[in-house]
Structure 1
Amino acid sequence: MSNPRPARTLPADARGKPSDRSESIAYRADLDGLRGLAIALVVVFHVWFGRVSGGVDVFLVLSGFFFTGLLVRRAESTGSVGVVPTLRRTARRLFPAMVVVLAAIVAATVILRPYTQWSDVAAQTLASLFYYQNWQLALTWSDYLAADPSVSPLQHLWSMSVQGQFYLVAIAVVAITAWACRRSGRTTQLRPVLGALIVVAAVMSFGIATNGTATHQGWNYYDSFARAWELLVGAGLAIASPYLRLPHKLRVALAGLGLAGVVLCGWLILDGANRFPGPYALLPVGAAAALIVSGNNLAADQRPLFNRLLSTRRVRWLGDIAYPLYLWHWPILIFYLAERGHPSAGLLDGLAIIAVSVVLAWVTHRVVEEPLRMRSQRGDIADGSVPGKRFATVAVAVAAVPMLAATTLWQTAVGVSPPQPVGALNPVLYPGAEALISGVPTPHARMRPTVFEAPADAPPPTGDGCIADWDNAELITCTYGDPNAARTLAVVGSSHAEHWIPALQVLAQRHPFRIQVYLKMGCPLTLAEDATYKGELIPDCREWSQQVIERLGTDRPDWVFTTGTRPRDDTGDETPPEYLDVWSALGDRGLKVIAIRDTPWLRGNGVRYKAIDCLAKGGDRVSCGMKRTDALDPINPELAPTWSFPNVYPIDLTDAVCDDAVCPVANGNILVYHDEHHLTASYSRSLADELGRQLQPLLGWW
């Protein structure tokens, strides 16, 4: 991650060279080392421990400190921040290495990854290049807990987008404030005014982050407004730096505690991805702030021992390559895991990943960054006299032009004809589940939905806005089937209850009944405090579930239809204890429950994968599927507990999805999954006959 280097202070009578004393006080070599240490921790924790280290939070503090300090010093000395020169120099620091890495990622994606992933990578490439990647990820709540092959090779660039957005806002705020102070004749008030603005903004941002941690952490983690307080802490320290003169013993204590906080953060906070940037982030932010303060306004040789340790040559070298190292390590890790099909890296391959990342970072720094950052002795802007500058410029241009053209053209082409739901299929050509259940012949026909159509072949509530989003605890309910029917089936829970709606709609047309949905993404009906989805907490899931249970008690549907099992982390499936609590709560309200066994979730070696990706890479319906013994337990795990609940009736349609040995990804010419684990609407409709056969004895409606 890139941070502006602190400016060197020049005495008024200097002739182009800083005095030794002024340079030694102004230049913070220890913070270069801190940047190197932080990136080393980020890399190590990503590669081996599958969690965040707090290093990114340290970077954000340093970015706020360096960049704001640079702007304020320039405004104080010249009366203006120099918007255009500042933007030019910032772009020269950030874009060259970014462009080179993005071009490499695009090329590797085309060569190594299935074409079904190209659109996502193209969209994220443009988002990264134009610094809105964090919002792109926030909209999808991508899992940043750990690296695995299903994660984007561009996911780590969210933090660069947050920094880039901050830089633009900081330039505007400091420029406007400096102009206002100059016009009013109060130039000495620049720092106090900016300090007041920073305090107010930081408090508001911290409040957003704290609330977001408790309500919508997946969005909160990437939210620029929630992250702003970390940058603003650094900005505030830059404003206050001339006045921060502390006793030596206090400086030593701050340096020691700060260094310990940076190093130990990832070990003390084991679930930082579920906690940051809320109050728990005070540890890495406070640690970085302590190290900034401990060495402030001191010559290099007078700083505390821990600051001097960060100033050593090897640690500073890590700081020099920190930005390209951050850019390179994540995509190398993700591509390696994807090609090997492993959920994580071991000791030796992890060391190899780090070694390759360091080498590429060093080459990028020497060949691309340094020549373009250097300035000729004749002026402020680098020119052709700087060795290697022309080569670096050509290299960046060669990388940028085809990368930008390819991603833009691909997104434009895809955008012209976005995928559409398939709709009704001819049951003779597309028997789907009936090919398994009834042995209906499967004629030769193209699979539908195709790998391009599949993502859009979702059940109606998704398109109708009739399923509550991740960060929405509001109870949303919609009606399907026959709204005037006397009998009501309530479909309740997560998207795994939702994907049965197309099958139920077919049945409701044949035997009129109302389908009332109560759905929330990632949230099966549960009263557990720690409900999670793919390892990520959904804090309002319990609150939403309580609302639904109370509403069901009021609405009193004839039956409640929900999932009764879920996959285990390794193999097989289970009925967790919290499901039994829900059955009991519904029984207390006199409600009868149909608990359907969940369909298999595609995973291999503990890694989620999409059916369409596997098919696009040349796999077939069987090789892309799962062994039945890996996907499901031999006996439906909900059978035994339902004996204790006379209001709960289990059903199991596994044999309509899996054969005796394998759970394929397509049956009867119909694709089963539109992603890793949700049924396509087309396959769900093909399940209607078997679902009707199992429901009839329970409902008695036909």
Structure 2
Amino acid sequence: MTTPSVDTTSRRTERARPTVDGRRADLDGLRAFAILLVVVYHVWLGRVSGGVDVFLLLSAYFLTGSFLRRAGTLSLATLPSFWARRFAQLLPAAALTIAAVLAFAALALPSSQWRAVWEQAWASLTYWQNWALTEAAVDYYARTETFPSMLQHFWSLSVQGQVFVLWPLLLVAGAVLARRMQWSVRRVLTILFGAVFAVSFAYSVVVTTVAQQAAYFDTWARLWEFALGSLAALIVPRLHVGRVLGLVLGWVGVVALVTCGLVLDVGAGFPGVAALWPTLAAVALIVAGRAERPAGASALLASRPVTAVGGIAYALYLVHWPILVATMVLVDSTRVSIAEGLVVIALSLVAAWLLTRGVRAVARGIGTSTARDARLVVVSLLVVALPLASWQAASAVQAAGVSPQANPGAQVLMPWTDARADDDAPLAPLGTQLEDEWIALDGPCDDAFAPDDDRLDGSCVQTVVDPAAPTFIAVGDSHAQQWLGALLPVLQDDGWNVVALLKGGCSLAPDEDADDECREWRTAAAAYTVALPAAVAMFIGTKAVPESDQERVPAGLGRVIDGVVASGTEVLLMRDNPRFHEDMYTCLEQTPDECGRDLATVQAPANPAIALADDPHVSLLDLTEYLCPEGRCRAAIGNVAVYLDDNHLTGTYARSLAPAVRAALAEIPGIPIG
């Protein structure tokens, strides 16, 4: 069996093209140019440039070219050494960057942001950040931060890392297949990556149309960019480009890259058809560099100042974003001035140079071998994993020390409980516990409580103690969920089954503005509630307006109530809690003395739901006095944070309201609870 020949570029063309260590210098310059665009757009324009797309394409271009030169010796046995070498090149700088971000977070960020930093640090270290951000993009309950994550830029490095695992498998498979079929490796790989391009591009166009936020970080929606880079590595070396055409292609490519982020909303339109703009511009520059006696844009990219940046491009991408966000935090602004931006860029260049030099020095000092590469990977992982795991463990120990006796919450406002707060105890919940403060039941609805309507999939949960016991159902958005926390201890003590239909951001009010999915859910939820033989149904009877007294009844709620009452179910309407413009937990961490609000400024003088309570089967439950005692709404009561963000109660505080709920329900004849 013959070994397929591997095409090489003509020596005359290679000599005409500037080189650095045997590489095309103009492409090192292109990488630098792409990263500089990313930095400048991030720092001063607050936009995405499309430079990352070029970076991804070039990584596949270089990888494919490297494998193609060794096609005759490729096999699965060669892959472990490749992976060890590649990640030994990538991980040290990445790990040091992540470790620096963790240090900054510990020193400068409030504890309510630590958990997100922890999660993203693990995701970045394990090349999973893009999928973590995909989940966050569609997570209604994800905390909204003032400043962007210092590690969110690792999404592209995660995609790249995943491709560095997948691509060699495809390249080896193509080489093996070529040997068996006695075809040219270049031909087989061109077909293979052409298919990857077509499938991934079609998927990218579709998913970008229906779910762009998630698609932006989706590896499968990005594979076509890598496939295009591989196709360029396979096809461009066979092209012969004249000097004039090279000049035109080069400058068209440069202008297209510079203007891409200005003309297109890259952050909201990629990675579908629009991403062809920067990637094809990069291909144009790759082709331009093939011209005889390349000049113009290609010569500019191959110049010493640009290629010098190319040598630190990876480190520059790593450090520029954390430095930018850290600057925003320190100056307390989501934008930086021109002068501050210059400082950010200067610091980024210095940090990138030091990081690159330091990592190279360490790598040189421990020799070269696959075993050395593996050790370097392990050490890099430990540089982050050990301090991060220790920090999380210490926080868990602190959280375990919080007790209801020292942190009684609302019960300090209930004389009959004799509760006293311990001012020396830490505030509950800790900032790192906020994501656990959402009220949850035991599991999905099943058996008699399982909904038949597919529109309710994933939104029905239950805690069942006895099928013969009375059933309580709560229906609505996240505010129905939070108030369920105040009722659950009472219901569980009294042996009730509890069912909840919950959809974040979607109240049970048919005339409130909503998207199609929410409207369909409302219809199905109302029908389910009417059909369920529940003794009591709980809804949110009012909707507060942030920092306003314009509280009102949700539009159309009355019709839903009429249907439920007609089915024989008692209705309990909870009054909404006040809402604010700022995150009240963060306020507690930073300026606790400024977090209070006068009740008259954040809630209507009287409960607007009174108009719905004319029916004897409709009752109201208003716990405002335990949120705003003596007419003052407070961010912390009884050593417990009342709010976990700008409008939701912490689960800890909601549960502390249980004695007040029992006392109030005992006074309501129609509600057989308490």
TM-score range, shorter chain: 0.7 to 0.9
For residues 649-685 of structure 1, the C-alpha deviation after alignment (integer angstroms, 9 at most, x for no partner) is 9875444223568644431233434567543333112
TM-superposed CA distance for 1:574, in Å, is 6.9
- CA separation of 1:409 and 1:234: change in aligned 2, threshold 3 A: same
Matches within 5 A, 1:126-275: 126-141=122-137, 151-182=148-179, 184=180, 186-188=182-184, 190-210=185-205, 212-213=207-208, 219-243=214-238, 258-270=253-265, 272-275=266-269
Instruction: Look up the match of 2:3.
Output: none
- Following the alignment from structure 2 to structure 1, what is the Cα–Cα distance between the partners of residues 233 and 52? 19
Where structure 2 has 5 or more consecutive residues not aligned to the other structure, the ranges are: 1-5, 370-374, 566-570
Matches within 5 A, 1:637-656: 653-656=623-626
Matches within 5 A, 1:416-565: 425=404, 431-436=408-413, 443-445=420-422, 446=425, 449-451=428-430, 454-455=433-434, 458-461=437-440, 464=443, 474-480=457-463, 490-508=473-491, 515-524=498-507, 540-541=517-518, 543-552=520-529, 554-555=531-532, 559-562=537-540, 564-565=542-543
Which piece of structure 1 moves more, 473-482 or 353-362? 473-482
1:201 aligned counterpart, secondary structure: helix
1:627 to 589, 593, 596: 596
Residue 650 of structure 2 is aligned to residue 666 of structure 1: no
TM-superposed CA distance for 1:157, in Å, is 1.1
- Following the alignment from structure 2 to structure 1, what is the Cα–Cα distance between the partners of residues 38 and 503? 34
1:461 aligned counterpart, secondary structure: coil
Which piece of structure 1 moves more, 191-200 or 79-88? 79-88
Instruction: Look up the match of 2:279.
Output: 288
Instruction: Look up the match of 2:557.
Output: 583
TM-superposed CA distance for 1:216, in Å, is 5.5
1:345 aligned counterpart, secondary structure: coil
TM-superposed CA distance for 1:357, in Å, is 1.8
- CA separation of 1:459 and 1:399: change in aligned 2, threshold 3 A: closer
| Residues 128, 158 of structure 1: 8 Å contact kept | yes
- Following the alignment from structure 1 to structure 2, what is the Cα–Cα distance between the partners of residues 234 and 600? 50
For residues 91-118 of structure 1, the C-alpha deviation after alignment (integer angstroms, 9 at most, x for no partner) is 3542342233233223333433456765
- Following the alignment from structure 1 to structure 2, what is the Cα–Cα distance between the partners of residues 68 and 213? 27
For residues 169-192 of structure 1, the C-alpha deviation after alignment (integer angstroms, 9 at most, x for no partner) is 11122123213322x25141x233
| Residues 54, 284 of structure 1: 8 Å contact kept | yes
Instruction: Look up the match of 1:636.
Output: 604
> Which residue identity does 1:73 align to in structure 2?
R
2:130 aligned counterpart, secondary structure: helix
| Residues 201, 229 of structure 1: 8 Å contact kept | yes
Which piece of structure 1 moves more, 36-45 or 394-403? 394-403
Instruction: Look up the match of 2:627.
Output: 657
> Which residue identity does 1:597 align to in structure 2?
D
Instruction: Look up the match of 1:38.
Output: 34
Residue 319 of structure 2 is aligned to residue 322 of structure 1: no
| Residues 674, 680 of structure 1: 8 Å contact kept | yes
> Which residue identity does 2:70 align to in structure 1?
R
Instruction: Look up the match of 1:407.
Output: 388
- CA separation of 1:626 and 1:654: change in aligned 2, threshold 3 A: farther
Identity %: 30
TM-superposed CA distance for 1:360, in Å, is 1.5
TM-superposed CA distance for 1:601, in Å, is 5.7
- Following the alignment from structure 1 to structure 2, what is the Cα–Cα distance between the partners of residues 187 and 40? 41
| Residues 475, 548 of structure 1: 8 Å contact kept | no
Instruction: Look up the match of 1:331.
Output: 322
- Following the alignment from structure 2 to structure 1, what is the Cα–Cα distance between the partners of residues 368 and 289? 31
Matches within 5 A, 1:667-682: 667-673=637-643, 678-682=648-652
TM-superposed CA distance for 1:498, in Å, is 0.9
For residues 174-232 of structure 1, the C-alpha deviation after alignment (integer angstroms, 9 at most, x for no partner) is 123213322x25141x2332233323333443455455446665544433233323222
1:345 to 326, 336, 339: 336
2:287 aligned counterpart, secondary structure: coil
- CA separation of 1:303 and 1:526: change in aligned 2, threshold 3 A: farther
| Residues 162, 224 of structure 1: 8 Å contact kept | yes
| Residues 24, 300 of structure 1: 8 Å contact kept | no
TM-superposed CA distance for 1:433, in Å, is 2.0
For residues 475-530 of structure 1, the C-alpha deviation after alignment (integer angstroms, 9 at most, x for no partner) is 53234488768976542333332121121224435778764311134554577999
TM-superposed CA distance for 1:296, in Å, is 1.4
- CA separation of 1:181 and 1:657: change in aligned 2, threshold 3 A: same
What is the number of equivalent residue pairs in this alignment?
641
| Residues 88, 377 of structure 2: 8 Å contact kept | no
- Following the alignment from structure 1 to structure 2, what is the Cα–Cα distance between the partners of residues 147 and 30? 42
- CA separation of 1:398 and 1:420: change in aligned 2, threshold 3 A: closer
TM-superposed CA distance for 1:128, in Å, is 2.5
TM-superposed CA distance for 1:63, in Å, is 2.0
- CA separation of 1:48 and 1:293: change in aligned 2, threshold 3 A: closer
1:75 to 71, 75, 93: 71
Which piece of structure 1 moves more, 213-222 or 490-499? 213-222
- Following the alignment from structure 1 to structure 2, what is the Cα–Cα distance between the partners of residues 263 and 681? 49
TM-superposed CA distance for 1:327, in Å, is 0.9
- CA separation of 1:373 and 1:515: change in aligned 2, threshold 3 A: closer
If the length of structure 1 is used for normalisation, what is the TM-score? 0.73
Instruction: Look up the match of 1:62.
Output: 58
1:168 aligned counterpart, secondary structure: helix
For residues 525-571 of structure 1, the C-alpha deviation after alignment (integer angstroms, 9 at most, x for no partner) is 5779996xxxxxx9955554454345446558764513743665xx5
1:516 aligned counterpart, secondary structure: strand
If the length of structure 2 is used for normalisation, what is the TM-score? 0.75
> Which residue identity does 2:96 align to in structure 1?
V
| Residues 628, 660 of structure 1: 8 Å contact kept | no
- Following the alignment from structure 1 to structure 2, what is the Cα–Cα distance between the partners of residues 58 and 646? 65
Instruction: Look up the match of 1:3.
Output: none
1:155 aligned counterpart, secondary structure: coil
- Following the alignment from structure 1 to structure 2, what is the Cα–Cα distance between the partners of residues 698 and 273? 53
Which piece of structure 1 moves more, 655-664 or 225-234? 655-664
- Following the alignment from structure 2 to structure 1, what is the Cα–Cα distance between the partners of residues 48 and 541? 33
- Following the alignment from structure 2 to structure 1, what is the Cα–Cα distance between the partners of residues 129 and 255? 31
- Following the alignment from structure 1 to structure 2, what is the Cα–Cα distance between the partners of residues 253 and 529? 56
Instruction: Look up the match of 1:534.
Output: none
| Residues 125, 381 of structure 2: 8 Å contact kept | no
For residues 10-44 of structure 1, the C-alpha deviation after alignment (integer angstroms, 9 at most, x for no partner) is 778x9xxx961366799554444443343233334
| Residues 137, 222 of structure 1: 8 Å contact kept | yes
For residues 77-134 of structure 1, the C-alpha deviation after alignment (integer angstroms, 9 at most, x for no partner) is x556953564455335423422332332233334334567656545543443332333
